[in-house]
Amino acid sequence: MSFNIAVDGPAGAGKSTIAKRVAEELGFVYVDTGAMYRTIALGLLRKNADCSDEAQLEAALQDIEVSITYENGQQQMLLNGENVTGCIRTEQVSQMASISSAIPMVRAKLLQMQRSMAASTDVLMDGRDIGTKILPDAQLKIYLTASIEARAKRRHLEQEAKGENCTLEEIEKDIRVRDYRDMNREEAPLCQAEDAVLVDSSDMTVEEVVQRIVALVKDRI
Ligand code: DC
């Protein structure tokens, strides 16, 4: 039987950096489910789809095929066969992913794909509903969070390094909007699973968080 680790938490808590490192250390496959939602969002943006029009959305989704490959251990996202990994981290895609991921039809499209990856392989899967909905029987569930201030500061530093110039206030506002949407949607809202271990990374280094999670896994293997 495969060993599954579910890591959920809000945007900017460091999930993907930490999840990637933990998976590497344990030899698990890292599955970034946010990237799957982002790929659908990019497909919808390219089609100019109106998410409030159900029939239009359904038609658009039928033409959107999402698949995953791994290159040198790195997850690559394919949209109708095209590698779009480099195109899904823009603010426009982030906003569209936040809106479209609240739609049940969009979530249903990814559910089986996520479950079947975890059924056959030792995975560390990160997202918003992995411990609560996708992998309710995961052997370890982590709810990774950090204060809004800490998350905004980290994102600000990342953006500065990329030469983008959003203010800290703008970033904080964007995080609050996304948190609210992710936590208050009807379908699979972001929340801590009852049996998840809470890890607050506000005052921890990446290395400290990685080692904490690795220790939790080793306790359960
Ligand atoms: O983790 P991220 O920022 O790449 O996720 C992009 C969006 O997708 C985010 O608004 C939340 C949503 N998402 C989700 O609803 N469920 C998941 N399992 C993963 C991401």
Q: Which pLDDT tens digit goes with each residue over 100-133?
A: 999 999 999 999 999 999 999 999 999 999 999 9
197, 199, 205, 211 alpha-carbon torsion, rounded to 10°: -10
| Contact by Cβ (8 Å): 212, 199 | yes
DSSP 58: H
Q: From atom 15 of ligand 1, which residue's Cα is the shortest distance away?
A: 101
Nearest CA residue ID for atom 1, ligand 1 = 34
188 in Cβ contact with 133 (< 8 Å): yes
Q: How confident is the model at residue 12 (pLDDT cuts 50, 70, 90)?
A: confident
User: Is the pLDDT reported for residue 191 higher than 90?
Assistant: yes
Tokens of 99: 């809106």
Q: Residue 185 pLDDT more than 90?
A: yes
Task: Say whether pTM exceeds 0.85.
Answer: yes
pLDDT > 90? residue 47: yes
Cβ of 38 below 6 Å from ligand 1: yes
